[in-house]
Amino acid sequence: MPIRFDSMVRAALAAAFICAGPAHAQEPSAWSDDLRSQIRLIAGGKQDDALLAAIEIKLQPGWKTYWRYPGDSGVPPRFEFAGSDNLLRAQVLWPAPHAFTDEGGTSIGYKDSVIFPLRVVPRDPAKPVTLRLKLDYAVCEKLCIPALGKAEVTVSGATTAQTPAIAQALAQVPKPVPASALGFSAKRVTATIKPLVAIDLAAPGNGRVEVFAEGPNAEWALPIPKPALGAPAGRRHFEMTLDGLPPGVDPKGPFELTFTIVGAQAPVEVTTRLD
């Protein structure tokens, strides 16, 4: 049965609000400024067994920063939480990115601003978490420069003025769905040294759709799938050359690839086996 993407968005928003703790003041961290950007930590609400927080990055106009897989160029951000109090683990969630093309190639990331939600699990659930962040990241316009930010915030699960922004960012995190939900397929269509992979998926409407491909680990650097012609109404075709594999990996062998699909509907993530 097809998944109702509008329902997924409402569910994500509701999860942050319904599970939020009692309201009281819980201030965000101060902004940590760099030359072309600034970051801060915000907190507010709960989701299942985790407290909710987020990393907010603001960029100067025309500047961008990167997704977990940055594309042809760029550096993914590195999040460190060493020195935090009562922290068992912090999971960074990645909002849907976009592709940007310039003379240096095509990169994947965010412009203007981005909020990375955090699922924060305390060691002692009866106590708040003091979250201390060190963030190494890169910002780019025509040239890329490294940036560093540090921030600290107390995370208790209480509702705050930032809870709606965190909920909206959660709704932009691609949700894992089975390939059948999109009628999704990815198949090799040539038997060359670097096979061509054809991608087919359901995509109602005429809006822009972007597809990003990732391998089983960070050693893979797959190209960004490009739109292809010939799709019937309600579907989209993409294709990519199976390039950027780690040394020793047979491009004709079986492995799992993850595809992130960003468009007019809620963003989703599909993991499928390429045989």
What residues contact 268, with CB distance under 8 A and at least 6 apart? 3, 5, 174, 175, 176, 177, 181, 182, 260, 261
Judgement on whether residues 110 and 242 belong to the same structural domain of the protein? no
pLDDT at 205: 78
Give the mean model confidence (pLDDT) for residues 68-87.
Answer: 94
Q: Which residues face 148 on adjacent strands?
A: 136
Are 135 and 66 part of one and the same domain?
yes
Q: How many domains does the chain have?
A: 2
Question: What pLDDT does 143 receive?
Answer: 86
One domain for residues 135 and 210 = no
**Of 173, 193, 216, the domain-final residue:** 173
pLDDT, tens only, 115-146: 999 999 999 999 999 999 999 999 999 888 99
Give first-to-last CA distance, the chain, whole Å.
Answer: 25
d(CA 111, CA 100): 9
> In terms of residues, how long is the chain?
275
The DSSP symbol for 10 reads H
Rounded distance between C-alpha atoms, residue 13 and residue 56, angstroms: 18
Given a cut of 90, whether residue 85 has pLDDT beyond it is: yes
If you average pLDDT over residues 229-233, what whole number do you get? 93
Amino acid 6: pLDDT: 44
Classify strands 268-274 and 255-262 as parallel, antiparallel or unpaired: antiparallel
pLDDT at 18: 35
Residues 145 and 207 in one domain: no
Q: Which of the listed residues 173, 204, 234 is the one where a domain comes to its end? A: 173
Say whether both 213 and 243 belong to one domain: yes
- Alpha helices for the chain (secondary structure H): 5-18, 163-171
115 and 169 fall within a common domain = yes
Amino acid at 2: P
Q: Are 104 and 183 contained in the same domain?
A: no
Q: What is the chain's mean pLDDT, rounded?
A: 90
Report pLDDT for 15: 46
**Contact criterion met (CB below 8 Å) for 270 and 177:** yes
% of the chain exceeding 90 in pLDDT: 79
Both 48 and 149 in one domain: the answer is yes
Main-chain phi, psi angles of 195, to 5 degrees: -60, 150
| DSSP-based three-state secondary structure for 179 | helix
Do both 180 and 153 map to the same domain? Answer: no
pLDDT at 142: 83
* Region for 244 from its dihedrals, namely left if φ exceeds 0, alpha if ψ lies in -120 to 50, beta otherwise: left
- Mean predicted confidence (pLDDT) in 238-257: 95
Q: How confident is the model at residue 12 (pLDDT cuts 50, 70, 90)?
A: very low
Domain boundary among 133, 157, 173: 173
Examine the domain organization and report whether 156 and 180 are in the same domain.
Answer: no
User: Above 70 in pLDDT, residue 192?
Assistant: yes
Q: What is the pLDDT of residue 109?
A: 97
Q: What's the number of CA atoms in the CB half-sphere (13 Å) around residue 53?
A: 31
Residue 191: what are its φ and ψ, rounded to 5°?
Answer: -110, 30
16-66 tens-digit pLDDT: 443 444 334 478 999 999 999 999 999 999 998 899 999 999 999 999 999
CA distances from residue 155 to 12, 42, 150, 258 in whole angstroms, order as listed:
20, 8, 16, 32
Does residue 4 register a pLDDT over 80? no
**CATH number of the domain that 48 lies in?**
2.60.40.1250
Residue type, 210: E
Helices (H), 70-182: 163-171
pLDDT of residue 103: 79
Whether 137 and 30 map to the same domain: the answer is yes
Predicted local confidence at residue 180, as pLDDT: 94
One domain, residues 163 and 192: no
Per-residue pLDDT at 264 = 65
Confidence of residue 199 (pLDDT cuts 50, 70, 90): very high
Residue 83 lies in domain = 5-173
pLDDT grade, residue 74 (50/70/90)? confident
